Structure 1
Amino acid sequence: MSKDGTELREAIAGRLRMARESAGLSQGQVAKRLGMHRPTISEIEAGRRRVSAEEIATFGKLYGVDANWITEGSGDTTEGTDKIMLAARQLSKLKDKDLDKLLGLLQMLRGTEGSDDSE
């Protein structure tokens, strides 16, 4: 395989992993839903197995992302959006008192950022 082909496969693999994590799914859950074995999902996400156009479309539907984003990195989902979705999912798991503490910390940080701009 050419260097460009390897790089493309690795980029697709990384976006598939990111989309799966953002969807809050484990490799085992994805494998079960798609009728695959978990090691197959692992091989795909490691870039060691080719993914067909049909499989990319199926992954896109399962993860709620555009197939163009999976293959090209463009479309409805961006890395920033994925990070926000992942953060929101993690925040939803916090206890109320811990969430209140975190929100207070964020307010302090935002206040600190404002003072840096004036220097």
Structure 2
Amino acid sequence: MNDQPAGFAAEPDRQTLGERLRIAREYVGLKQDDVARHLSIPRSALSHIEAGQRRVDALELARMAKLYQRPVSWFTGEQNPPEAELPEEVAHVARAAASLSSQDRQELARFADFLKSRAKTRVATDG
């Protein structure tokens, strides 16, 4: 299902799209096998997409965007990657939280709110 002859270099835009898809997949902690099953495509097809060697149709892109919790515009380069805006330790927490249950993520959010309010209290008492 490769759209290009063997040994032919991938188009830069397709490579960029593939790289963003790979980054997003890894960011949410999914394996290629997981995504391929979700899309009902062979894992090798997903590998070719991420390498920029296979075209992605609009429906596949929309399903991956939903799965990866990103707008389609992020994959097409119309938005900057969120990882570029986050410190590494925050990105790490986000990746770790992606594998938690919904209940555990809610608890993590409450704990983050607690830490923010505690920090505000410290600033108010120190200032």
Relative to the length of structure 2, the TM-score reads: 0.59
Q: Which of these residues, 79, 82, 105, is aligned with residue 83 of structure 2?
A: 79
What fraction of aligned residue pairs are identical, expressed as a percent? 36
State the aligned residue count.
Answer: 89
* 1:54 to 1:92, Cα distance in 2 relative to 1, 3 A: closer
Q: Which amino acid aligns with 1:80?
A: A
- Contact 1:23–1:63 (8 Å) recurs in 2: yes
Partner of 2:73: 68
Cα distance in 2, alignment partners of residues 62 and 71 from structure 1: 16
Aligned-residue offset at 1:63: 0.6
Structure-2 residue corresponding to 1:40: 45
Give 1:79's aligned amino acid.
E
Runs of 4+ in 1 over 2 A off after TM superposition: 77-86, 89-93
Residue 91 (structure 1) shift: 9.1
RMSD: 2.8
Cα-to-partner distance string for 1:37-86 (whole Å, 9 max, x where unaligned): 111110000000011122111110011001000112416x5232575565
Between the aligned partners of 1:92 and 1:62, the Cα distance in structure 2 is 11
Whether contact under 8 Å (2:28, 2:98) holds in the other structure is no
**More relative contact order in 1 or in 2 (CA 8 Å, sep 6+)?**
2
Which of the numbers 12, 15, 26 marks the counterpart of 1:21?
A: 26
Alignment TM-score, normalising by the size of structure 1: 0.63
More helix by share: 1
